[in-house]
Amino acid sequence: MLKIAAFEVRKDEIKDFKKAAEKYNVELIFTGKPLSVETFDFAEGCGAVTSLGHSRIDRVILNLMRDAGIRFYCTRTVGYNHINLEYARELGIRICNVSYPPNGVAEYTVMLMLMSLRKYKQAMFRGNVNDYSLEGLEGRELRNMTVGVVGTGRIGRTVIEILQGFGCRILAYDAYPNGSVADMAKYVELDTLYAESDVITLHTPLLESTYHMINRESIAKMKDGVVLINCARGSLMDVSDVIDGIEKQKFGALGLDVIEHEDGIYHVNHTVDIISNRDMAYIRQFPHVTMTQHMAFYTEEAVRSMVYGAVKNLRDLNKTGSSAFELF
């Protein structure tokens, strides 16, 4: 029987992990700690490992896996930029990721759009101190806007589907256009999307080509008063350049569920701590910047899908030699 060591296990995952282990006939041990050199001994005697994205699967960890006879690793995330895939292939360690329904992130994205357009952050703050004035809270209606969707994979496509009901004009950009999306949105060049969109939402993976794609140059191409939404990856934005744009009043609002260098900060209680990410601490204080703690994915359906997917993928690699979610 395959024995799996699960790291970074949250309390909300435990019930699903136990059910998945029973369903797929594997032995499972779990810990809330991330996978690291200091915690690696927990995986002793296991043939497979799973973790979330705060564990850095670098050359050191991969060497430890090889030496311990661990052949399989699955990240319980869609993104995999925390894994040294090339070195894993050299060592013969099989790597896979998981998938979950795109609806949660897509719905959350549209929610951030609406909150940003209706200035809900300030309205909420005022209400907390019994200030029910309206001055400065005049919003804008999505139906009269052009929304640019960067990346039309499963999540971007679902965002576009939801936006159909608002009656807005929708532009789309993707290096690999999706024919089914073309019926709902107009594909344009990225510079055109920047220039014509009132709202821009990012749904592209973090790659070498997309790293800091939102920077001083791309921001300059956008409309004054543009609303920027990012529920994808923090490193798609050069935060210093975004802050500069905020200070120069380029942005009408920002809705950010992610930010660069969030590892070790998000998903942890830092009530009495000093936050070391200065850009994050600074950008969140602007009245038109709404920030949440990388929780767009966080629904019952998504958590269940990620846990069951990880256990099944590792079981399949061990039992059949293949998984539909193996990263090549």
Q: Which residue has the tokens 């999307």?
A: 193
Phi-psi region of 322 (alpha: psi -120 to 50; beta: other; left: phi over 0): beta
Of 233, 260, 304, 315, the catalytic one is 233
Q: What is the model's pLDDT at position 3?
A: 98
Of 154, 260, 262, 315, the catalytic one is 262
Whose CA is closest to 169, among 152, 154, 186? 186
Q: What is the model's pLDDT at position 81?
A: 85
Specify the 3-state DSSP secondary structure of 297. Answer: coil
| Eight-class DSSP state of 127 | H
Q: What residue ranges do the domains of the chain occupy?
A: 3-100+300-319, 103-291
Give the Cα separation of 156 and 202 in Å (integer). 8
Q: Which residue has the tokens 């329904």?
A: 101
Domain 3-100+300-319 in CATH 3.40.50.720? yes
Report in angstroms the alpha-carbon separations of 59 from 80, 88, 206.
15, 8, 20
- pTM for the full predicted model: 0.91
Domain 103-291 in CATH 3.40.50.720? yes
Within 10 Å of residue 238's Cβ, how many Cβ atoms? Answer: 21
DSSP per position, 168-190 = -EEEEE-SS--TTGGGTSEE--H
**Continuous segment of H or E residues that includes residue 91:** helix 85-91
Contacts 24+ apart (CB under 8 A), 172-180: 172/148, 173/148, 173/149, 174/150, 174/204, 175/209, 177/152, 178/152, 178/153
Of 203, 294, 304, 315, the catalytic one is 294
- Known catalytic membership, residue 212: no
- Known catalytic membership, residue 294: yes
Give the Cα separation of 14 and 10 in Å (integer). 7
- The tens-digit pLDDT sequence of the chain (328 residues) is 999 999 999 999 999 999 999 999 999 999 999 999 999 999 999 999 999 988 999 999 999 999 999 999 999 998 898 999 999 999 999 999 999 999 999 999 999 999 999 999 999 999 999 999 999 999 999 999 999 999 999 999 999 999 999 999 999 999 999 999 999 999 999 999 999 999 999 999 999 999 999 999 999 999 999 999 999 999 999 999 999 999 999 999 999 999 999 988 898 899 999 888 999 999 999 999 999 999 999 999 999 999 999 999 999 999 999 999 999 8
- The angle subtended at Cα 51 by Cα 99 and Cα 323, nearest 5°, is 45
